[in-house]
């Protein structure tokens, strides 16, 4: 029995746990052995739980002096070869952005949880929102790739936390787990089963002679092998634009070459990255696109709408960025109208509009801290269906 | 890869020669500080493969690229926070931080005071040249009063930080200061910091001749360095009679050295104790439960 | 709609242990194979402000995990009336504490006014009013096995409070059982 088992195994099969609790357990199961964080509602439960669990598996928990220090320490630990996690909410996510960009540019794997609460600024710390959808993708300056996962249930937080680590390691990228306050603090009965034998992804480590090693020369998969400090490669890591040898350069060809690879590297891993769920989409006249608590409301709205004779379907991106756009296009082709309920003033709807170019996309936006209800979504779907039908028969 | 520490120190054994020529201005004190650091590393016999150097942004931050070790050039102000993660995750590495006065005391000031308080084993070398050199010579937290910089056109009116007093007040268990004027003494101070079992803060008084010196008409590089002689004195001289006659009384040498528990070791010890008590509880539990299939 | 959905809210103020007793009930339901989602709303003040703990129970996976139409409402403070009353289903059943929530709004609701907090005080601590309420709710709603609920209370109670909590649960069951035989008042206030 390895160290993980003692922390995870001897519990009943079905447990009532919160989303944040599931995140902590998923991280441990994925092999995370370092957490640095700073207290912030509503994500602190992750830190509190890992402060107890990480020492049990010979990992390290540290509460840092601020949000910036937390992401910095996490990247530092990962540069040392240890899988690392930090968790925060809106204000802290804003503070972390510069260093998330560093991790993206220097290609240091790490996982950042952002539990979305009301904003802007301090906003509503104990109320849910979905206002960080765009920030999660575009929050740091410059061009960079990033993976953002948007689980919608406690069980899915557990699974997606593990997948976040796998993708971070495989693609050498920061991965953001983005979920709202409702899902974070919601407790659900889940069956986690035996997690001890899950095959976890390990980073691709450099091998071979030092003289031949180029820290940013990629293999065919677009991902360079990383060198572990102490293994004798003695490389340089920098946030400056760098060439394949890792050293800063302003040579336009070298920058274009390396940055170009960075910006397209996720394209070669879309099979592993893309993830979405469709419900009742085959015959849907109204397609609903939603994440998190809004998607949970939409799921119930489907039944309400169908009971009233409206054929509604749901497309739920689980990987939010890069957006599974091919899948959405395919599903949306058959729909007469598209509805995007979200707890913000219009973010997911912008991306859906962009992808479905020309198709009418109706946003349903709320930012008062109250989740959008199934009945409201169903009513809007019904009126959209009627309007679309009227337009076609006219 | 260990260079024989008994052999004479050759700085080229520790430099990435492919990175030469370096980008420092003629007369800059940072090169002297780098040499002193590498000399101390050599004498201490630290393996280049397990040496990790983390640096921030600015002229000082660029130095890590020249060192033949595991080097990390991170974001502005944050090298101590990155180094904290690295050192906690990899206690087998010897982690050195190179930072500047702006990087360490302004944008990174919060990380400095908490690193001092936490007492994780790190050696922090702060190269103080009184100015933001790389961005064109703006005022920094250590710029002397009345000095001209590109953002204090009428002279600096802000009082400056005494970085060593700050570090000591924040609880650093090792604090020292030396100028670039006396390389062997600087090397010895850094070496003491490298062996210190806890957080070691070393301030190196360096000179920015090209930007700061020129603007303030402080003369050539050797002249600026000689100025250190009049402004610095060993801490042992603190109470001597000439105190009132000195315009500047920055003490040098080891200024603070106390013994406090090193954070990483203390954390690992507590974690091991937690695991041991868990193992004991689980053993007691399985002993209490009768094994299946035994008569 | 094919739906086995049942919604329960325990409403009161922060510090009354609403989340704990909802978790105990959820554990008992989970042990019986039900799918449960438990959520709470709270104000930034940790103690004294309005707080509720909701359970959504289903035979299959819970789709929308928040309360939309309450089948059962337990009121341990009058503060919980205003945010909860509009969510009541027609025919929903309300259990209200006689002392802390004496007046209920008009309307066609079945309501039981029970001395939950007074019973807790008589048992030795007002802090177990949540467990008394849990027992009363379980008796009236008949949503889980009594043994399973006792097991959940045992599992979530520190040893020093165990006897008190089990007594409180039993007292709550008695209150609930008496209420079944007594006619429930419509909430005329």
Indicate the SS3 state at residue C42.
Answer: strand
Q: Is residue C67 part of a domain?
A: yes
**In angstroms, what CA-CA distances link A216 with A246, A299, A324, B129, C171?**
6, 44, 28, 34, 70
**Chain A: residue nearest B107 by CA?**
A68
Shared domain for A254 and A303, answered yes or no, is no
Task: Determine the distance in angstroms separating the CA of B197 from the nearest CA of chain A, rounded to an integer.
Answer: 20
Beta strands in chain A (DSSP E): 14-18, 34-37, 60-63, 84-89, 110-116, 147-149, 174-180, 187-191, 236-238, 276-279, 286-289, 312-317, 319-321, 337-342, 361-365
pLDDT of residue C189: 36
Shared domain for A167 and A21, answered yes or no, is yes
pLDDT of residue C185: 58
**Which of B52, B88, B274 minimises the CB distance to A60?**
B88
Mark which residues 31-90 of C lie under 8 Å from A by CB.
31, 34-40, 42-44, 62-66, 68
Residue with more model confidence, A243 or A6 = A243
Q: Is residue A388 part of a domain?
A: yes
pTM of the predicted structure, to 2 decimals: 0.95
Give the count of Cβ contacts less than 8 A between chain A and C.
66
Task: Determine the distance in angstroms separating the CA of A283 from the nearest CA of chain B, rounded to an integer.
Answer: 51
Interface residue A260 vs chain B (CB under 8 A): no
Least confident of A1-10, A186-195, A367-376, B173-182: A1-10
Q: Which chain A residues contact residue C39 at CB under 8 A?
A: 182, 185-187
Mean pLDDT of chain C: 91
Task: Determine the distance in angstroms separating the CA of A106 from the nearest CA of chain B, rounded to an integer.
Answer: 9
Report the alpha-carbon distance of residue B116 to residue B100 in Å, rounded.
16
**ipTM score:** 0.95
Shared domain for A92 and A161, answered yes or no, is yes
Selected residue of C66, C69, C87 to mutate for chain A interface (largest A Cβ count, 10 A): C66
Q: Which chain A residues contact residue B68 at CB under 8 A?
A: 234
Q: Is residue C1 part of a domain?
A: no
pLDDT of residue B227: 85
Q: Which chain B residues contact residue A60 at CB under 8 A?
A: 88-89, 267
Q: Is residue C189 part of a domain?
A: no
Report the alpha-carbon distance of residue A236 to residue A238 in Å, rounded.
7
Q: Do A296 and C36 touch (CB under 8 A)?
A: no
Q: Is residue C187 part of a domain?
A: no
Q: Give yes or no for residue A114 having a pLDDT over 70.
A: yes
Report the alpha-carbon distance of residue A134 to residue A347 in Å, rounded.
6
Summarised one tens digit per residue, pLDDT across range C74-108 is: 999 999 999 999 999 998 999 999 999 999 998 76
Shared domain for A26 and A109, answered yes or no, is yes
Q: Is residue A71 part of a domain?
A: yes
Report the alpha-carbon distance of residue B246 to residue B255 in Å, rounded.
19
Give the sheet arrangement for strand B94-100, strand by strand: A236-238, B70-73, B51-55, B94-100, B122-128, B199-205, B174-179, B250-257, B232-234
Shared domain for A30 and A105, answered yes or no, is yes
Q: Which chain C residues contact residue A373 at CB under 8 A?
A: 64, 68
Shared domain for A369 and A285, answered yes or no, is yes
Shared domain for A310 and A337, answered yes or no, is yes
Mean pLDDT of chain A: 94
| Domain hosting residue A31, numbered range | 3-191
Q: Is residue C27 part of a domain?
A: yes
Q: Give yes or no for residue A387 having a pLDDT over 70.
A: yes
Indicate the SS3 state at residue B188.
Answer: helix
Q: Which chain A residues contact residue B82 at CB under 8 A?
A: 72-73, 75-76, 79
Shared domain for A144 and A253, answered yes or no, is no
Q: How many domains does chain A have?
A: 3
**Which of A185, A189, A307 minimises the CB distance to C30?**
A189
Q: How many domains does chain C have?
A: 1
Q: Which chain C residues contact residue A304 at CB under 8 A?
A: 1
| Domain hosting residue C149, numbered range | 6-180
CATH value at residue C77: 3.40.920.10
Shared domain for A214 and A259, answered yes or no, is yes
Q: Do B84 and A80 touch (CB under 8 A)?
A: no
**Which of B50, B111, B278 minimises the CB distance to A69?**
B111
Task: Determine the distance in angstroms separating the CA of A230 from the nearest CA of chain B, rounded to an integer.
Answer: 5
Shared domain for A52 and A109, answered yes or no, is yes
Shared domain for A46 and A174, answered yes or no, is yes
Q: Which chain B residues contact residue A84 at CB under 8 A?
A: 85, 89
User: What are the boundaries of each domain within chain B?
Assistant: 11-260
Q: Do A69 and B68 touch (CB under 8 A)?
A: no
Task: Return the structure tokens found at C5.
Answer: 């959905």
Query: Over its length of 295 residues, how does chain B's per-residue pLDDT go in tens digits?
Result: 777 888 999 999 999 999 999 999 999 999 999 999 999 999 999 999 999 999 999 999 999 999 999 999 999 999 999 999 999 999 999 999 999 999 999 999 999 999 999 999 999 999 999 999 999 999 999 999 999 999 999 999 999 999 999 999 999 999 999 999 999 999 999 999 999 999 999 999 999 999 999 999 999 999 999 888 777 766 666 555 555 444 456 789 999 999 999 999 999 999 999 999 999 998 988 887 655 444 3
Q: Is residue A144 part of a domain?
A: yes
Shared domain for A238 and A322, answered yes or no, is no
CATH value at residue A292: 3.40.50.920
Q: Please tell me the CATH code under which domain B11-260 is placed.
A: 3.40.50.970
In this structure, what are the phi and psi dihedrals at residue A148, rounded to the nearest 5 degrees?
-125, 125
Indicate the SS3 state at residue C58.
Answer: strand
Decide: B and A in contact? Rule: 3+ Cβ pairs under 8 Å: yes
């Amino acid at each position: 029995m390895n160290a993980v088992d003692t922390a995870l195994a001897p519990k009943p099969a079905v447990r009532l746990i919160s989303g944040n609790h599931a995140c902590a357990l998923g991280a441990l199961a994925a092999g995370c052995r370092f957490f640095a964080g700073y207290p912030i509602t509503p994500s602190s439960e992750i830190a509190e739980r890992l402060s107890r669990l990480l020492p049990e598996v010979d990992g390290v928990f540290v509460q840092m002096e601020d949000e910036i220090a937390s992401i910095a320490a996490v990247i530092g630990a990962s540069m040392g070869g240890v899988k690392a996690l930090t968790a925060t909410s809106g204000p802290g996510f804003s503070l972390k952005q510069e260093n998330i960009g560093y991790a993206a540019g220097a290609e240091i794997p790490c996982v950042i949880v952002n539990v979305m609460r009301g904003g802007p600024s301090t906003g509503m710390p104990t109320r849910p929102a979905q206002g960080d959808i765009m920030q999660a993708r575009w929050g740091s300056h410059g061009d960079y790739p990033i993976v953002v996962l948007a689980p919608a249930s406690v069980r899915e937080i557990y699974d997606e936390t593990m997948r976040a680590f796998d993708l971070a390691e495989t693609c050498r990228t920061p991965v953001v787990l983005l979920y709202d306050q409702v899902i974070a603090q919601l407790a659900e009965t889940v069956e986690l089963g035996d997690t001890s034998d899950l095959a976890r992804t390990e980073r691709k480590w450099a091998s071979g002679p030092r003289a031949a090693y180029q820290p940013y020369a990629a293999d065919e998969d677009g991902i360079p092998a990383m060198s572990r400090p102490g293994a004798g490669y003695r490389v340089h890591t920098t946030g400056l634009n760098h060439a394949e040898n890792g050293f800063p350069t302003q040579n336009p060809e070298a920058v274009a070459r390396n940055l170009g690879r960075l910006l397209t590297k996720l394209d070669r891993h879309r099979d592993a990255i893309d993830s979405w769920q469709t419900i009742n989409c085959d015959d849907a006249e109204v397609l609903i696109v939603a994440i998190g608590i809004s998607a949970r409301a939409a799921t119930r709205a489907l039944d309400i709408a169908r009971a009233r004779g409206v054929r509604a379907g749901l497309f739920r991106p689980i990987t939010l960025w890069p957006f599974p756009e091919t899948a959405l296009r395919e599903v949306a082709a058959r729909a007469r109208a598209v509805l995007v309920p979200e707890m913000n003033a219009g973010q997911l709807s912008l991306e859906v509009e962009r992808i479905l170019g020309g198709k009418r996309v109706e946003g349903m936006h709320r930012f008062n801290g109250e989740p959008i209800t199934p009945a409201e979504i169903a009513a809007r779907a019904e009126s959209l269906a009627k309007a679309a039908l009227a337009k076609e028969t006219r | 890869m260990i260079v024989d520490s008994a052999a004479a120190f050759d700085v080229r054994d520790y430099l990435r020669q492919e990175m030469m020529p370096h980008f420092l201005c003629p007369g800059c004190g940072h090169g002297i500080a780098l040499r002193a650091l590498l000399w101390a590393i050599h004498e201490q016999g630290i393996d280049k493969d397990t040496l990790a150097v983390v640096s921030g942004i600015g002229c000082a931050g660029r130095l890590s690229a020249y060192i033949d070790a595991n080097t990390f050039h991170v974001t502005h102000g944050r090298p101590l926070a990155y180094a904290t993660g690295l050192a906690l995750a990899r206690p087998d590495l010897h982690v050195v931080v190179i930072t500047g006065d702006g990087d360490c005391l302004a944008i990174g000031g919060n990380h400095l005071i908490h690193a001092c308080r936490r007492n994780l084993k790190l050696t922090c070398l702060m190269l103080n040249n009184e100015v933001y050199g790389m961005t064109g010579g703006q005022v920094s937290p250590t710029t002397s009063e009345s000095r001209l910089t590109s953002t204090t056109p009428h002279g600096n009116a802000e009082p400056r930080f005494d970085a060593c007093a700050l570090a000591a007040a924040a609880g650093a268990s090792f604090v020292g200061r030396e100028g670039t004027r006396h390389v062997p003494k600087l090397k010895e101070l850094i070496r003491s910091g490298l062996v210190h079992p806890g957080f070691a803060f070393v301030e190196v008084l360096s000179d920015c001749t090209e930007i700061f010196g020129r603007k303030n008409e402080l003369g050539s590089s050797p002249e600026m360095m000689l100025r250190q002689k009049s402004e610095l004195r060993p801490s042992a001289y603190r109470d001597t009679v000439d105190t009132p006659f000195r315009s500047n009384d920055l003490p040098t040498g080891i200024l603070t050295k106390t013994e406090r528990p090193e954070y990483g070791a203390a954390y690992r010890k507590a974690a091991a104790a937690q695991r041991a008590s868990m193992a004991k509880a689980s053993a007691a539990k399985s002993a209490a439960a009768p094994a299946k299939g035994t008569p | 709609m094919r739906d086995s959905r049942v919604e329960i809210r325990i409403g009161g103020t922060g510090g009354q242990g609403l989340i704990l007793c909802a978790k105990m009930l959820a554990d008992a339901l989970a042990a019986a194979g039900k799918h449960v989602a438990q959520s709470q709303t709270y104000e930034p003040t940790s103690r004294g402000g309005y707080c509720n703990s909701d359970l959504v129970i289903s035979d299959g996976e819970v789709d929308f995990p928040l309360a939309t139409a309450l089948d059962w409402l337990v009121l341990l403070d009058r503060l919980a009336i205003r945010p909860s009353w509009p969510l009541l289903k027609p025919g929903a059943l309300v259990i209200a504490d006689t002392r802390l929530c004496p007046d209920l709004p008009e309307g066609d609701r079945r309501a039981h006014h029970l001395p939950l907090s007074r019973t807790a005080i008589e048992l030795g601590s007002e802090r177990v009013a949540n467990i008394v309420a849990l027992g009363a709710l379980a008796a009236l709603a008949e949503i889980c096995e009594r043994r399973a609920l006792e097991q959940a209370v045992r599992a979530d109670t520190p040893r020093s409070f165990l006897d008190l909590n089990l007594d409180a649960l039993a007292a709550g069951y008695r209150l609930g059982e008496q209420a079944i035989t007594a006619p429930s008042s419509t909430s005329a206030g």
